[in-house]
Structure 1
Amino acid sequence: MHVVIAWWDGTRGAVSGTARTDRSGEAGFGPGAAASFAGEYPGLRDGQWIDEPVAGWEGLALIWDCADSADLFLPVISEQTFGCAPSHRWAFELDDAPSTPGDPGMHPAELELLLRA
């Protein structure tokens, strides 16, 4: 699995005029919510909205099948969601964990643990 953690500095988009500031009406948008487009892009397994309110950052933690899929579709997701490229981006490979039958993927608690590690 290829994991991408991308952060957007809220002030950067506001200065350039590209920030999407009013997301209150969007279903599924917000910290702790599953990324609503997980399934729209080939190779995207799972996603989670993340935020750092003290720093004024919002972001996404995305789990991909491979780096090629992430490289191809992250710019599209970035533009669609935030109107600009991420301020910060980290990517790393994570070995696939054995799954149990009927398991839909990484559970929110597992993703939260991964993000805080």
Structure 2
Amino acid sequence: MAVNRLRNALAVPRKGETYELRAGLVSQYAYERKESIQKTIMAMTLGKDVSALFPDVLKNIATGDLDQKKLVYLYLMNYAKSHPDLCILAVNTFVQDSEDPNPLVRALAIRT
């Protein structure tokens, strides 16, 4: 018990908005991921640099939730120029979404 307290006292505090957003983006719960993506987009629209979250946001592109997919695509459109090497990972999802039966998903994939 005392060893754990000592270990926690010596640990570097990992607090901050970026750390919390990253933790939410890799959460196992869909509602936490969606909430974190929404907060990331809010920070992006306020002018904060959230480009460090690009790989974590990119992992959330393959989702069935249309609202979450729209937010991820919006993020990708804003930061694609700064991370062109990672954007290649999203191409397969764009192709799959362009063949989706839902016309909104198809239009979103083609527009992006």
TM-score by length of 2: 0.25
Radius of gyration: which is bigger? 2
Between structures 1 and 2, the one with greater strand share: 1
Higher relative contact order (CA 8 A, sep 6+): 1
TM-score by length of 1: 0.24
